[in-house]
Structure 1
Amino acid sequence: MNQTHYFFALKLPSETKMVLGEHMDKLREIMPFSRWVHPEDLHITLAFLGHAPLDQLESAVRNVEKAIQRVNPVKLQIDKLGTFGPINSPRIFWAGTEDNADMQLVRERVFKACLDAGFKLETRPFKPHITLARKWIGENTFKQDLLNKGQSLQPIPLELTVRDVVLYQTHLQKTPKYEETTVFPLT
């Protein structure tokens, strides 16, 4: 049985998703990953909730709404490509952002709001990124020089302004797979 999952994330502007989608098409030709993310699903995760009982989810929504009141939109710059997982066979290929105090503030507030609602969250340090693809399937091992080649294809640095935090619901059998359930404008 498929259980739906929820997560809070920064919603990327449509223009940014379009530009990244075009460049992902080029990257796909040089980087054999099993699954590439649909451009509409691109985001920066702030807090992954997993399966969420309705009362707990509603509490998190109320807490997040209150926590990010009067928080300004976040100006970001996508400035690097990287991977997570084994160096020779990465699990995740991502585009990352520069360190940004405004984004850290939003993340801290959303994270605390979810903890206060009773969620047990990931304890690893926050590394803001946009997942582009999953699971290396190349015949040869992954080489770091592919990141340099990929970087030359990417519009890096790419500047954007994030204006919304969103609660997404996952639908694994659909494409795109993430549904916006609640939008919290940054004002």
Structure 2
Amino acid sequence: MRKNHYFIAVPIPIEISEHLAWLQAELKELLPFRSWVHKQDYHITLAFLGEASSVQLEQVKQAMEQIAKSHCSFMLTLDKISTFGNRLAPRILWQGVKEEPKLRKLREDVYHACIDIGFSLDQRPFAPHITIARKWQGETEFALEKIRTMTAGKVENASFLASHIVLYQTHLERVPKYEPLLICPLSQ
């Protein structure tokens, strides 16, 4: 039996999700990735928790409510497409988000609250992104610069208001696979 996994993220508003889905449909025709993220599952992860007890989930919910009250909504702007993993056969294809100190501070507060609750979190530097595809399966090498040239200006510089943080539960057998358990609005 699979265990439930949880994460905290900034959701992507529907108008930006629709725009990313349009770009994704174009890319699907050209790029052989094993799986493509459903448009309702687009998000910017702040903390991947993995498994959690009911006590930990209650503590996370309380922490999220306090953190959300202490942060104001802010604008985010999409940047270039990029990858994680081997640059010639990437593990993840993602849409970048331009540097925003308010996002970085929100992530820092969420991250430290989750560490204090007892979660063991990823210690790699925060790289805000929206995953759009996973696991390159091409017979030829992936060419990031070619993809960047092809997609330049299609979604880059699109902006949206980050106004919530969400606790999600993952359901690997469903599409979309992420279920919101708690939505905390940021202060206006």
The answer, yes or no, to whether TM exceeds 0.5 is yes
Deviates more, 1:58-67 or 1:173-182: 58-67
Residues 24-75 of structure 1: per-residue CA shift (max 9 Å, x gap): 1011112111100000000000000001111011111111211221411120
CA distance in 1, matches of 2:135, 2:170: 19
CA distance in 2, matches of 1:152, 1:101: 24
Structure 2: unaligned runs, 5 residues or longer? none
| Aligned positions of 1:1-187 closer than 5 A | 1-152=1-152, 154-187=154-187
Structure 1: unaligned runs, 5 residues or longer? none
Query: Which residue type is aligned with residue 59 of structure 1?
Result: Q
CA distance in 2, matches of 1:27, 1:152: 13
Residues 63-119 of structure 1: per-residue CA shift (max 9 Å, x gap): 121122141112010011100001110000000111101101110111111111111
8 Å CA contact retained: 1:68, 1:110? no
Moved over 3 A (4+): none
| TM-score, structure 2 normalization | 0.95
8 Å CA contact retained: 2:68, 2:164? no
| TM-score, structure 1 normalization | 0.96
Query: Which residue type is aligned with residue 8 of structure 2?
Result: F
SS at match of 1:88: coil
8 Å CA contact retained: 2:80, 2:152? no
CA distance in 1, matches of 2:75, 2:186: 11
Q: How many equivalent residue pairs?
A: 187
8 Å CA contact retained: 1:76, 1:160? yes
Residues 10-34 of structure 1: per-residue CA shift (max 9 Å, x gap): 0111111111111110111121111
Q: Percent identity?
A: 41
Following superposition, the deviation at residue 2 of structure 1 comes to 1.1
8 Å CA contact retained: 1:4, 1:171? yes
8 Å CA contact retained: 2:92, 2:133? yes
Residues 145-171 of structure 1: per-residue CA shift (max 9 Å, x gap): 333244237321211111110000000
CA distance in 1, matches of 2:40, 2:186: 20
Deviates more, 1:65-74 or 1:130-139: 65-74
Query: Which residue type is aligned with residue 74 of structure 1?
Result: F
